[in-house]
Amino acid sequence: MKKAIINILLIVFLGVLLYSGYRLFSIYSEYRKGRVLYEKTSDQFMTEKEESGEEIETAPIEIDFESLLKENPDVAGWIYCPDTVVNYPVMHGEDNDLYLHHMVNREYNFAGCIFEDCDNARGQTDPATILYGHSMNDGSMFAMIHEYTKQEYYDEHPTMWYLTPTQNYRLNLVAGFVAEEDDPVYNLFQTPQEMQAYLKEALDKSTFQSDKQYYLETVDRIIVLSTCAYEFNNARYILIAVPIPIG
């Protein structure tokens, strides 16, 4: 009887071990599939510029939107932060579910895409445009946004870039903070005045101090990067940028 019990326990242990190994392999495969696709997408559609020495400021990269839109007409733009992993196409779907777990080629992957809120108008005409992205354990997608809880990280990366088919923007990062899942920003704003009042509060509770000073009444729109956080249940980390049209 004792031998039979030991054999059963060994079989159970082996089953758990095999299942755990399968799950780890599946997770690794998903991560790898996502990295490979986005590296391929970047190689195919993104070109880094060489410094020209011109006084006119331009974006540090170029995107072949004409070809990219042929691959997927849901492409809304491209988000880029130098010297980080953030170098991704941005999607705009009919809802906020599709690109939560589907990549730019519409293939399922739990890493999903960076995507604009479906209720935003294309073209960054709303008082606030929200870009969502997962915080992946391998550091991909918007995982690096958490680093903005440290002043020194902001000092090293005070700007990002958001390129669209019609306009390029330098994103001057002005505030970042941990928020509830029902933070008012997720309702968007009806007027620039509502957004400006929110921005003032955001600056007061930011985890870093921006070197970009703005008169609140002159800011008519912001771009918000949002990802999951883990300080408490259903927490979010929100990074707020003022988009400056370039070119």
Residue 114 falls inside a structural domain: yes
Q: What are 194-200's contacts with CB under 8 Å, separation 24+? A: 194/127, 195/127, 195/128, 195/219, 195/220, 195/221, 195/222, 198/128, 199/174, 199/175, 199/240
pLDDT of 218: 83
Identity of the residue numbered 49: K
Residue 12 has pLDDT above 70, yes or no: no
pLDDT of 19: 46
Q: What is the largest CA-CA distance in the chain?
A: 85
Average pLDDT over residues 57-70: 94
pLDDT of 205: 93
Pairing state of beta strands 222-228 and 61-63? unpaired
pLDDT of 31: 63
Residue 171 falls inside a structural domain: yes
Residue 87 has pLDDT above 60, yes or no: yes
Residue 62 falls inside a structural domain: yes
pLDDT tens digits, residue range 20-51?
A: 554 544 555 666 776 788 899 999 999 998 77
Residue 36 falls inside a structural domain: no
Q: Which two tokens stand for residue 135?
A: 């915080």
pLDDT of 22: 40
Average pLDDT over residues 66-73: 96
pLDDT of 27: 52
Look at 56 and 96; give whichever has higher pLDDT.
96
Residue 213 falls inside a structural domain: yes
pLDDT of 25: 42
Residue 8 pLDDT level (bands cut at 50, 70, 90) = low
Beta-bridge partners for 108: 102
Instruction: Compute how many other C-beta atoms are within 10 angstroms of the C-beta atom of residue 198.
Output: 19
Residue 98 falls inside a structural domain: yes
Q: How many Å apart are CA 239 and CA 199, to the nearest integer?
A: 11
Supply the range of the domain harboring residue 141. Answer: 58-246
pLDDT of 202: 93
Residue 24 falls inside a structural domain: no
Average pLDDT over residues 53-78: 91
pLDDT of 211: 77
Query: In this predicted structure, which of 25-34, 78-87, 187-196, 232-241 has the lowest mean pLDDT?
Result: 25-34
Q: How many Å apart are CA 159 and CA 101, to the nearest integer?
A: 27
CATH code: domain of residue 202: 2.40.260.10
Average pLDDT over residues 107-135: 93
Question: Measuring CA to CA, how many Å separate 35 from each of 25, 101, 140, 174, 221?
Answer: 15, 14, 8, 29, 32
The total domain count for the chain is: 1
pLDDT tens digits, residue range 135-185?
A: 988 888 999 999 999 999 999 999 999 999 999 999 999 999 999 999 999
pLDDT of 122: 87
Contacts of 131 (CB under 8 A, 6+ apart): 79, 90, 114, 115, 116, 117, 162, 223, 224, 225, 226
Residue 18 falls inside a structural domain: no
Identity of the residue numbered 124: Q
